[in-house]
Structures are given as structure tokens and as C-alpha cells.
Amino acid sequence: ERSGGLPALAEAAAKAHAALDPAHWDFFAGGAGEERTLRANEDAFACRRLVPRVLREVGEPDLAVDLLGEPLSMPVLIAPTAFHRLAHPGGEAATAVAAAAAATVMVVSMAATQPVEEIAATGAALWFQLYPQPDREFSDAVVRRAEAAGCRALVVTVDSPVFGRRERDRRNGFLDLPPGLACENMRDGTGRVRDVVMDPALGWAQVDRLRAVTGLPILLKGVLHPADARLAVEHGADALIVSNHGGRQLDGAVSTLDALPAVAAAVGGRIPVLVDGGIRRGSDVAIALALGASAVLVGRPVVWGLAAGGTDGVRAVLEALRADLRDVLTLAGAPRPGALTPDMVA
């Protein structure tokens, strides 16, 4: 099982593996198809090397960044992941408490197992992830609910016109949440929990439509092609997330690190570009930043932390990444995240 990365992350993964039902572990850990893209994400980082600068009077690096008006203590956010109560009874709220303690943003999945209002009650800075639903009225109602709960940006996932083929889930017969758990933000006016539906008819018109539905900043998550990055800017996206859904959608898709430079070039600094997939240590974060990302998101390591120890487990993961990133910036001669440049990656 690949669970590499910093010792604290590997330890969380090992504890999660021991604690979780094997089918649930497979749901969290797995990817689509042969898991080539899942592996490629981590491998791409392992193939790059930093070229440090010296004698730059770095002192204590300052990791803080501002993103879409949000002050973050470090350029590491929590990616949206489904079903936190499957990992730990504290669920998404337990993750949110850790996000607040770390002074970073948690992106709440549309497939969260607690109501967004309960997650927001932790006081964490939240963004809400949306799979636009074919029932547009219902979809809009979910957006308005998230906005009313205090979510400060909308992350629209665009890499999922259908569910990816997850072979582990098929083998395990893992199809749905066990009784007692539900996607609480999919309840409609009648109290019925709707299925999260993937919409193969999704197009740019839906992005334009969302602009009219919400005043929140809109990020598009799942962009890999530079032509789509250009279109996203033209359609008024406020930021992009270069992502292949952690290798869970199109197996065979390019690794996110390999996709990043062309996307960053296409965007040309007009909007922030974020990236996720396979980030497991400070040097991964630094390499992503050097190649054009304003910040990164982590998915599975947070789930491992949650399963291993609830809020404390997530905090341990985030603080390990922070401490490692601080060391890496110092050793690479970068006093701030913004001081990392493409020439510092070989």
C-alpha cells in the first residue's frame, strides 16, 4: 500500500489502515482503473529536485499567503473528500476544528456526512465543493444553503461527468454509505436525501449560470488542459485547481504536477492556480509553488489523520506539513512561498 511521505503522514496512514474496515480503507485510498494516475501523482513529485539558492538571509520563513481574500497561515488547504463520518465519528466537524486550529481553509465536500451548518459552527474558514446537479433548481438551493451557512467560496468540480471506475469498490461491493450515515447536504425540501448525480451534460453554460446564482468566488476544480484554463479565465472563474481527483476519475490522465506548468502559463497570473494530488511532504509543496501554484490541497493525508485520531490526527498531519515546508523553504533559500520560482526545480 502506498502511504509514503513524511513520517507523521505515513504513521497516520498506518493507523488508519489498522482502524478502518478494509472496504472503507479501499474507498479512501483507491483510484480509478489500474491506478496509474493515482501513482503518477506521487511519482511526478519524486522525479523533481529543488535547486536551492544560498546566502539569501532567509531567517525564519513566513508561510502565510492570501488567497481570494482569505488569509491563510500556510499555502496548504484541505481538499474536499467525501464521507468523513466513515473515517471517524467526529466527521467533517472534527476535520474543520483542525483546519481552524491550523488557520487554513477546509473545502467541504458536497458528499459530506454532516450538515454544512454544523461544520460551519466550528468557526473554520470553509469553501463548499459542488457537483452541479442536473436538477438545476436543487443545485442552486444547495449553493444558497452553503452560502447562508457562511462558506466563502464555491469549488465547482468539473472532472466528473460520470463516476470514475473504482475497481476496488467494485470488488468490495462498496456502493453506498452504511445505514445511519447520509450525504446531509443533499436533503431536499421534503427531507429526502438525494443521490449525488454526475452530469455528463455539464458545460460552460453551467459555470456562467452559477455566476448569477452566487456572489461567492468560483474556483473550477479538475482542470488539466491549458485550453480549458484559458476558457476558465474567459468565463470569469476566480481561481483554478489543477486536479485529476486524486486519480479517482480518468485513469491514464496526466499527473497534476506535469499538467501544472502549461496551465500556469496559460493563465499568465490572471487568477490563482492551485494544485492537488500526491502532495505528501514539504518539498512537494515547494515544487508545486515553484512551478506556478499559489497553494496546494491535500486529500488522503487528511482522511488518514482523521481516521487515526480525529481532530488531533488531522492537526498532526497539517502541523507536520507546516514544519517540513518551513525547513524546506529555509534550506532552499526562499523567505516566503512567493520566492520560489521555476528555475529552482530540476
Q: To 5 degrees, how large is the angle CA 17–CA 103–CA 119?
A: 65
In whole angstroms, what is the distance from residue 294 CA to residue 230 CA?
17
Active site residues: 245
DSSP reduced 3-state for 78: strand
Among 33, 277, 305, 310, binds ligand FNR (CB under 6 A): 277
Among 243, 255, 283, 311, binds ligand FNR (CB under 6 A): 243
DSSP reduced 3-state for 219: strand
Among 129, 255, 283, 294, binds ligand FNR (CB under 6 A): 129
Q: Is residue 122 a contact residue for ligand FNR (CB under 6 A)?
A: no
3-state secondary structure 199-217: CCCCCHHHHHHHHHHCCCC
Q: Is residue 104 a contact residue for ligand FNR (CB under 6 A)?
A: no
Which residues are annotated as part of the binding site?
Answer: 80-82, 109, 129, 131, 157, 166, 221, 243, 245, 248, 276-280, 299-300
In whole angstroms, what is the distance from residue 292 CA to residue 252 CA?
23
Among 33, 61, 80, 309, binds ligand FNR (CB under 6 A): 80
Buried b / exposed e along 44-69 (16+ C-beta atoms within 10 A): bbeebebeeeeeeebeebbbebebbe
Would you say 13 or 110 has its CB closer to ligand FNR? 110
Q: Is residue 246 a contact residue for ligand FNR (CB under 6 A)?
A: yes
Buried b / exposed e along 88-100 (16+ C-beta atoms within 10 A): bebbbbbbbbbbb
Which residues are annotated as part of the binding site for FMN?
Answer: 80-82, 109, 129, 157, 221, 243, 276-280, 299-300
Residue nearest to ligand FNR (CB): 299
Would you say 16 or 329 has its CB closer to ligand FNR? 16
- Interface residues with ligand FNR (CB under 6 A) are 28, 41, 79-82, 109-111, 129, 157, 221, 243, 245-246, 248, 276-279, 298-300, 303
